[in-house]
Amino acid sequence: MVEKRCPLQRDGVYRWFSELPSPQRVEFLCGLLDLCIPLELRFLGSCLEDLARKDYHSLRDSEIKANNPADLGSLTNLTDEVVRSKLLVSLALLGSEQREAAGVLYRTLTHIDSIIHNYGLQLNEGRTGDEFLLLFTMASNHPAFSFHQKQVLRQELTQIQSSLSGGGGGGGGHGGKSALPTCPACHKVRPPAPPSPSGAVAEVAGRLGPGEACPVRVRGPFVPFFLSRLWPQAR
C-alpha cells in the first residue's frame, strides 16, 4: 500500500513545490537540507556543483562583484528596485565563507526599518514586498552570515511578513504571503492556481531591453525577481 501511494505523493509534492513563490521555495529547500545526513549532503553537493558549472561563465562577473565588499558597499538604496535585484543576485552568488561581504550586506539589510519609516517605502506596492521577503529569506538562511546576524535578519523577516499580512510592522505573526502553503500530497487541500508562465515570460521580456538576451536558463518563480531590471544592470 505504501509503495503504491508514494509515486502519487511524490508527484503531488513536485507540483506543490513548483507553484510556491520564491521565498517559500528557498525556505522549504533549506529545511530539507537540515534533515539530510552528511553523506546525503555530500552527494547533493556534487549534483549541485555539476548543475552550477553550466552557468559558471555567464555568472562569473556577477559572482566576483557579489563577493567584493567594495562593490556591495554601493548597493545601499533599498528603495531602488534595481539595487534590490542586484542584492538578490549577490546573495545567490555569495560564497559561504565570505564573512566580510556578508557583513556589508547585513548592514545594508538591517536599515530597512529606517527606510520604511523615513522614506515611506510601501511594502505592498508592486513586487516590493515579494522582493524583500526573498532578500531576507535568503540572507537569514545563508551560511556566510553569523548566527547572531541570522537571528536579527530572521526577526526582520518576521516583521516584514507581519506587515504584509496586515499585522503591522512588529510582531511574530505569519499570514498572507508568509505562511507556507499546505502540501496537497500530504493533506487534501486544493492547491492555488499556478501563475501563468506566459505572463512571467512577458514580464521578463518587457524589463529586458530590446535585443538583450537572458544569460542564464529560466527556472521557475525566480524569473520575475532575478531577471527583472537585472540584466545587464547587475553585471
Q: Is residue 51 domain-resident?
A: no
Q: Is residue 112 domain-resident?
A: yes
Q: Is residue 26 domain-resident?
A: yes
167 compared with 104, residue with greater pLDDT: 104
Q: Is residue 226 domain-resident?
A: no
Terminal Cα-to-Cα distance of the chain (whole angstroms): 53
Which structural domain range is residue 99 located in?
21-36+56-180
pLDDT at 115: 76
Q: Among candidates 224, 36, 7, 6, which has minimal Cα distance to 127?
A: 224
Element of type H or E holding 136: helix 128-141
Q: Is residue 49 domain-resident?
A: no
Res 215 pLDDT > 50: no
pTM equals 0.70
78 compared with 215, residue with greater pLDDT: 78
Number of domains in the chain: 1
pLDDT at 125: 75
Q: Is residue 4 domain-resident?
A: no
pLDDT, tens digit (0-9, with 9 covering 90-100), for 116-172: 766 666 777 778 889 999 999 999 999 999 999 999 999 999 988 888 887 554 433
- How would you label 150-184 residue by residue, b for 16+ Cβ within 10 Å and e otherwise? bebbeebbbbbbbbbbebeeeeebeeebbeeeebb
pLDDT at 230: 42
Res 182 pLDDT > 70: no
pLDDT at 103: 96
pLDDT at 176: 42
Q: Is residue 115 domain-resident?
A: yes
Peptide bond into 232 cis (omega under 30): yes
The rounded mean pLDDT for the chain is: 76
pLDDT at 223: 43
pLDDT at 66: 96
pLDDT, tens digit (0-9, with 9 covering 90-100), for 186-195: 444 444 444 4
Q: Is residue 198 domain-resident?
A: no
Res 178 pLDDT > 50: no
Res 175 pLDDT > 70: no
pLDDT, tens digit (0-9, with 9 covering 90-100), for 86-97: 999 999 999 999
pLDDT, tens digit (0-9, with 9 covering 90-100), for 3-60: 555 656 888 899 999 999 999 999 999 999 999 999 999 999 999 999 999 999 999 9
112 compared with 32, residue with greater pLDDT: 32
Alpha-carbon distances of 155 from 23, 95, 96, 150, 160, rounded to whole Å: 15, 23, 21, 9, 9
